[in-house]
Chain A
Amino acid sequence: MVPGILLLALIAPACSPPEVVEISIERPAKDLPMFFSAEASSSQRFRTDDDRFEEPEVDLAELFEWTQPEGWERLPGGGMRVIDLRPAGDPRAECYLTVLAGDGGGITANVNRWRNQLGLEPQSAAEVDALPTLTLMERPATSVDLRGSYVGMGDEAREGWALMGAMLVSTQGTLFVKMTGPAELLEAEREAFESFCASLKAADQHDSHAGHDHPPGEHPPEPGAEETPEAPVTDDLGEPGFAYQLPEGWREGPPKMLREVNLLVGETTQCYVIVLGGEAGGLEMNVNRWLGEVSAEPLDAAGVAALEQVEILGERAPLVEASGDYTGMGGPTGEDMALLGVPLIRSSASVFVKMVGPRAEVEAARGAFIEFVASLEDQE
C-alpha cells in the first residue's frame, strides 16, 4: 500500500495536463532583457547570420527616450557612444551614454577608473557603496562627482576639470553617463545633467503611458480612471517589495542583489531589507548570526525573548542591538561599528531589516530606524 501511494504521488505529474491551465509558477523576474524594442518586427526578433536575411543594425539610441537639456547639442556620436551630447554647446564639454554588456567590470572598478582619469586616489568598495545616487532609467544609479586634472583617452592633462557621471549595473548590461569639461561649466550644467539622466528611459516599452508622470514603481491609472496619487499602490503581478517612509536625511542606495530595499544613512551607514523564503534558519539562529558579526556573546532562547519588541508589517519582532568590530557580509566592515536589526520570522517568508555602520551614526539613527521599520508595508 505504502509504495503504491508513493508511486502514485510521483507518477501523477507525468499525466497530460488539461486543455486549459492556470499558470501557477510566479517568481521574481531576473535577468530580463533590458534593452529591446517592443516594436521589433519578426525580422528583428529572428535575425540570422545569413547575409540574405541581413537587417540593418539596430541603432541603440532608438532604444532610449530622453529629454535633451536646453542649450545642449546632439552630436552624431559613434564608437561606443550611444547618445552623444555637447553640454551648453561648449566644445570643451561632452556628455555621453555608453552601454556595455555584463557588469562592465563592476561599479567600484569603474568609479576608480574615472577617479584615475582625474588623478584621484581609488576608493574602497564601502566608500563606493556610500556614494549618492541619482535617477537613471528610472532607477537609482551610482552618482559620481569629481574634480581634478583630467586625462581622457590619450589626451593631455587638463587642470580644473570635472567629471560628473552616473552608472547603473544590471544583469543585462551596464549604462554609463559621463559628462566632462571645465569645472565651472559643469557646475553650471549640474541640474541639466541630472534632468537628462532622470529623463533617460527605455523607449517603446511604455508609449501608451506617455504624458503621465508617475513615480517609479507605480502603475499609471487605467484609462478613464480618476488619478488618485494617495491611493495605495496596487500591483497586478504581485510585485515584491515594500512601501515605506524614508526618514529625513536618508537616501536611496543603488539596487543590490537580495536587497528589497537599500538605503544609505549618513556617511557610510547602510540600512537594507532582505526577504528570504521560509523561516530562514529561525529567530535564534539569525539573532546570534548578527551578534556574531560584531563578536558579541550569543543569546539563548530566553535572552532572545527578552529583547525589546518593535512593530514590523503589523507584527512584533525583536530589535537586535550590538556593537563592536563588524565583520559581517553586505556592509561596511570596520572597528567600533554598531548593528541594529529586526528579524521577522514567518513560515512563508522571513523579513530582515538591518542597519550597520559606525557606532555614532547608528546610535543617532536608532529612532529613525524604528520608525522606518514600522512604516514598512508589504505591497503584495
Chain B
Amino acid sequence: MAREKTLPRRVLDVIGSFGLCCVCLFLLFWLTVFGTIFQVDHGLYAAKKTFFAWDFAPIELGGRTWLYLPGVATVLAVLTTNLFVGGLLRIKWRKRNAGVIIVHLGIVFLLLAGLVKMTRGKEGHLRLWEGDRLDYFSSFELWEVAVWELRPGQQGVELVIPDEHFSDLSREGQRTFTSPHLPFDLVLSGFVKNCDVLPKGPNWEATGPVVDGWGLLEKTPNKEAEFDVAGLHARVLVDGAEPAQGILHGLQRQPWVVEADARRFAVDLRHRRYPMPFEIRLEKFTKEDHPGMTMAKSYESVVTRIDSSGEERILIQMNEPLRQDGVVLFQSSYGPQLPGGAVPPGERLYSVFSAVDNPSDKWPEYSMWVIAAGLLIAFGRTLLDYVRKQNAQRQKLSAQPPSA
C-alpha cells in the first residue's frame, strides 16, 4: 500500500517540479519580449529597472496595461530554488545521477552569479587625459550626496550618502541623516530624477520649495538615464539655530556651503563614485581615423595599473578590457567630440572607459566548467552504458548457433 505524502513533502514536490521550471522559463520568455518592446519607448535603464526588478512589471500594449508579471529577479529566484530543490534535493543521490546533480549545481551557481551581479554589481565610467590617474569610477545614472569640511589646505574625509538613501524621497518624503562627525543633521527631501534649476518665474511650478529665488523644474526622464540630471532639497538642522536650506543640483557649479558650530561644510550632489582596488594612469591614447575622414577607425589606450604589487603597463582596446580584482575596464569612447566623431582642433583628447565592478565576474566561467564536467559525466556514463549494452548483445548474438 502506497504511503500518503506529508504536506511538506507535497510542497517540496511542487517547488521542485518540472512544471514550475517550465512556468518560470515561459515567464522569462515573455518578460524578455515585453521588456524589449518597453525599451523602445523608455530606454534601456528604465527597462532594466522595470523588468529586471523584484516587483511586478506592467505589460503595456497600445497605451494600456493589460496585466502584471513578476519581475525577472523574482522569477529567477524561484527558478533557482526550483533547480535546487528539484535537481539536488528531490533527485536520488546515486552514482548514476552524479552528472545530472553536477549540472544542476552548475546552473544554480550560474543563476546566483546573475543575482549577485544584479544586486551587487556596479557600473560606470572613468575619463582620463594622458598623465591623469584615478582610483575610482563614476556611475552613469546613480547619484550621491557628499559632505566634507572646508579646511584650509586639506582634503580629509568625506561622508557619503548613497543614491538608495534618498532616491525614493518624493516631494513630501524626507529623511534625516546624522553623523557623529557633523555638528548638524542633514535633511534631504524632494528628489527629482531629471530637472533643471532655474530662477522661479510665474509660468512654471517648482518641485519643492523655492530657495533664494531658485527652484527645481521637473523634466521627463531621458530614455538614456545617463543624460538625466538629478535635483534635491536639503536642510541643515543645528541646535538653537534657524535651519538653513538649499538646493542641490547635479550640474551645480559649486557645492552648497553650510556653517555650523563655527565650521564650514560643503554639500555636493554628484554621480556616485565607486572606489577601485587599484589606480589607473593613462599613458597614451591613440585614435586612428578612416583614411580621409575624421571618423575614428579604432582607438586604444595604454594605461598603467598601480597597486600594492607594483605597476603594470596594459593596452586596453576594443574587446580587450583590463580585468583585475573583479573590476573590468573597457575602452568605450573618447572626447571631446564634435557630431560625427571629429575632434575639435587644438583640443587634448581624453579616453573614456566603461567600468564594471562585479563580485561574480568569474562565476559564470566557473559554472560553465562545472556544467561541462556534469554533462561529460552524464553523457559519458550514457555512452558507456550504451557500449556495454551493445557488447552484451553482440556477445549474446555470437553465442547463439547460426540458424540454418
Q: Which residues of A contact B (CB under 8 A)?
A: 2-4, 6-7, 10-11, 13-14, 16-17, 19-23, 25-30, 32-33, 36-48, 53, 102-103, 105-106, 137-139, 201-202, 205-206, 208-209, 216-217, 219, 222-223, 235-240, 257-258, 276-277, 280-281, 285-286, 289, 328-329, 350, 352
Contact = CB atoms under 8 A, between A and B. Distances in A.
Nearest to A276: B308
A20 B162 CA distance: 14
B164 A13 contact: yes
Interface of B: 54, 77, 80-81, 84, 108, 112, 115-116, 119-120, 129, 131-133, 135-136, 146-162, 164-165, 168, 174-179, 181-182, 197-199, 211-214, 246-247, 249, 252-257, 259, 262-264, 266, 268, 275, 277, 279, 306-311
A343 to B, nearest CB: 10
B153 A201 contact: yes
A11 B54 contact: yes
Given A13-B164, A17-B175, A23 B159 contact: yes
Given A23-B179, A201-B152, A3 B157 contact: no
B131 A137 contact: no
B240 to A, nearest CB: 15
Nearest to A40: B254
A24 B95 CA distance: 50
Nearest to B120: A10
A235 B155 CA distance: 12
Nearest to B133: A257
Contacts of A258: 279, 306
Contacts of B158: 26-29, 32
A348 to B, nearest CB: 15
A28 B115 contact: no
Given A103-B132, A236-B149, A45 B157 contact: no
A23 B132 contact: no
A26 B157 contact: yes
Given A38-B150, A201-B153, A216-B152, A20 B178 contact: yes
28 contacts: A3-B81, A3-B108, A7-B115, A10-B120, A19-B174, A19-B175, A21-B165, A23-B160, A25-B159, A25-B162, A28-B157, A28-B158, A32-B266, A33-B266, A53-B199, A201-B153, A202-B152, A206-B151, A208-B263, A216-B154, A217-B153, A217-B154, A236-B149, A237-B157, A239-B157, A240-B156, A276-B308, A350-B308
B161 A23 contact: yes
Contacts of B199: 43, 53
B101 to A, nearest CB: 15
A292 to B, nearest CB: 9
Given A20-B175, A22-B178, A23-B179, A45 B152 contact: no
Contacts of B212: 41-43
A137 B153 contact: yes
Given A28-B157, A32-B155, A23 B178 contact: yes
Task: Please give me the 10 A-B residue pairs with the lowest Cβ-Cβ distance, nearest first.
Answer: A138-B153, A42-B212, A25-B160, A29-B158, A280-B308, A239-B156, A205-B150, A36-B254, A38-B257, A23-B179
Contacts of A285: 309
Contacts of B135: 30
A238 B157 CA distance: 7
Nearest to B144: A25
Given A48-B198, A206-B151, A10 B115 contact: yes
A27 B136 CA distance: 12
A102 B134 CA distance: 13
A102 B128 CA distance: 11
A53 B165 CA distance: 33
A38 B254 CA distance: 9
Given A7-B115, A30-B136, 5 more contacts: A32-B266, A42-B213, A53-B199, A138-B152, A237-B157
A33 B266 CA distance: 10
A277 B155 CA distance: 19
Given A19-B176, A32-B266, A46-B252, A2 B84 contact: yes
Contacts of A217: 153-154
Nearest to A350: B308
B213 to A, nearest CB: 7
A4 B255 contact: no
Nearest to A352: B308
Given A4-B81, A19-B176, A289 B156 contact: no
Contacts of A40: 254, 257
Given A40-B257, A201-B153, A206-B152, A222 B262 contact: yes
Nearest to A32: B155
A352 B309 CA distance: 12
A102 B282 CA distance: 14
A103 B246 CA distance: 32
Contacts of A209: 152
A286 B308 contact: yes
Contacts of B155: 28-30, 32
A40 B202 CA distance: 25
A45 B153 contact: no
Q: For B154, B181, B252, which residue has the most chain A Cβ atoms within 10 angstroms?
A: B154
Contacts of A25: 159-162
A43 B197 CA distance: 10
Given A26-B160, A46-B249, A201-B153, A33 B254 contact: yes
Contact of B214 (A11, A14, A39, A46): A46
Contacts of B253: 36, 44-47
Contact of B252 (A2, A10, A45, A237): A45
Contact of B54 (A14, A39, A137, A350): A14
Given A3-B84, A45-B252, A103-B132, A21 B152 contact: no
A233 to B, nearest CB: 12
A208 B264 contact: yes
A125 B214 CA distance: 49
A217 B154 CA distance: 7
B247 to A, nearest CB: 7
A239 B214 CA distance: 35
A4 B108 CA distance: 13
Contacts of A6: 112, 115
Contacts of A236: 149, 181
A289 B153 contact: no
A206 B179 contact: no
Contact of A206 (B80, B112, B264): B264
